[in-house]
Amino acid sequence: TLPRREPPMRPSSAASCSSEGSRRPPQESPEDLPSPLERSQVPRFLEGYGFIARDAIEWWESPLPELTLQVKGHEKAGKHSFYQVNCSLARPGEWQSPYLTWRSSLRLTQLRAGLHDRVKGELGDAYKQTFDGAHFAHRYALNGTTARLDVWCRRLANAITSKAVTPAVAALTLQVLGAPERAVEDGTSSPSRSPAQSPDGELQEDDAAVRTCASRSAQLPASCAGAGAEDDLNPFSDDLATQEACR
């Protein structure tokens, strides 16, 4: 007699739903994102950008550079949308004259996994208070994604500048947003001035990173230019600009 053939195994309903029928969002894997720094590396990394930290969780008393983050739109590349984040660093009260500017282009999954999820993990219970009213974008690129990202990133920048978050959060923000590498040489840094500033207060012309990034600096929209050069209030600060003001 011929051997009996067993019917093929059918996947369970749970397995079937998880692989085909579910509506769960795609995995937010931190692809192409830099690995977080070791905690001991955070102060030295930040010093290159003018941030003076005691360690990964505590700042020194000196004022921090003014970080500005704006999400101005997105570009399509294949099937993906890449959101444009305009970034700048300026000495305190001198947001009109940043010493470092650059633009980051990241997918929503990268912004979520690299910034949102890591920042939330670093802040723990304090996240809700720090980002109260500034909700991150939905997992799917729905209408309003750019506006939500803009509000959230401005809140993040303001929290860093005001020391409402730890140095570790500032470091991962600069990492994920691709801030141009700025090495710190032993004995040359000073907490009293930015790394792009010479002792007499002028920008160092031989600083390749500043020259390169300045050429790519995005122009600020006239509607957000503030009252004038004498006005030291940054209109892109979360506390001073409404969501509509900078669109």
Taking the domains of the chain in order of start, what are their residue ranges? 31-221
The CATH class of the 31-221 domain is alpha beta
Between CA 17 and CA 238 the distance in angstroms is 42
pLDDT digits (tens, 9 = 90+) for 11-39: 433 333 333 333 333 334 445 788 889 99
Question: Is pLDDT of 98 > 60?
Answer: yes
**Cβ-based neighbours of 40, under 8 Å, separated by 6 or more:** 56
Q: What does the DSSP 8-state code read for residue 25?
A: P
Given its phi and psi angles, is residue 110 left (phi above 0), alpha (psi -120 to 50 degrees) or beta?
alpha
Both structure tokens of 151: 């509000």
DSSP characters for 169-205? HHHHHHHHTTPPP----TTT--TTS-TTB-TTSPBPT
pLDDT digits (tens, 9 = 90+) for 129-186: 999 888 887 776 567 789 999 999 999 999 999 999 999 999 999 999 999 987 665 4
